[in-house]
Amino acid sequence: MSGMRAARMAALCLALVALSGCARMGGVFSGSVPEDSRNASPAASAASGAERPSLLPLLSPEGERKLMEARSLWIEDNCVEPERATLLLDAVLEEVPDYADALIWRGKALTAQGYLEDAFDDLTMAVRLLPGGGQPEGARLRARAYAARAYTALRMAREQGAERDLASALEADPSEPTAYLYRGALEFLRGKDAEGCADLGRACELGMCGARQQAESGGLCR
């Protein structure tokens, strides 16, 4: 890696330190996976589930409690306890394997731990399960799934795939803040700092200001 590219990676980590993975891994796009990486892939039966699954499938009271607890472990887009979140979401998905929202959250938690292939599988399943249009809630979840998969793709050094997913996320829901957050990362990676700062600013307008504040305090954005 050239010195300039290494410096840009460091700048990205500074800008996205509020995001999952950056503070825990060796670099936001290191793409490394721990040797004990999870090997269990999502159930094939869920991938071939109904084309129009319920967006709010019924869970037992215990399943609902675990899902709510898992969601509570995020501050903006940073999972403060990804291992705990993954265990909780494992239990939810054991109960309802095609629960797209739970798949998105587990994909994000796995990405934070560096289990990138498994995260990508979860997020791909979520994209396939969600309807393409007609339901506002479905569009919102689809945007979140595409945006989360884009970040995982960036961590795997798959820039073109990330770019496609970000375009799909914004097409599904232009008000999804994480899509701007991750598009900002991609712009920084490509040396388009002004565009990257603008995207972090847009994410902040939509309620996620941590990365923008970090970028400003580090001198990357003004």
The ranges assigned to domains in the chain are: 3-25+60-217
**pLDDT class for 198, splitting at 50, 70, 90?**
very high
Sign of torsion over alpha carbons 76, 77, 80, 86? positive
**pLDDT class for 76, splitting at 50, 70, 90?**
confident
Tell whether the model's pLDDT for residue 51 goes beyond 50.
Answer: no
pTM: 0.79
Q: Give the per-residue pLDDT at 47.
A: 34
Higher pLDDT, 55 or 192: 192
Q: Give the per-residue pLDDT at 2.
A: 53
The C-alpha angle with vertex 152 and arms to 158 and 8, in degrees rounded to 5, equals 65
Q: How far apart are CA 88 and CA 63, in angstroms?
A: 9
Question: What is the tally of helices (H) and strands (E) in the chain?
Answer: 11, 2
Under a CB-based contact definition with an 8 Å cutoff, are residues 20 and 203 in contact?
no
Quickly name the fold that domain 3-25+60-217 has. Answer: 1.25.40
Higher pLDDT, 134 or 119: 119
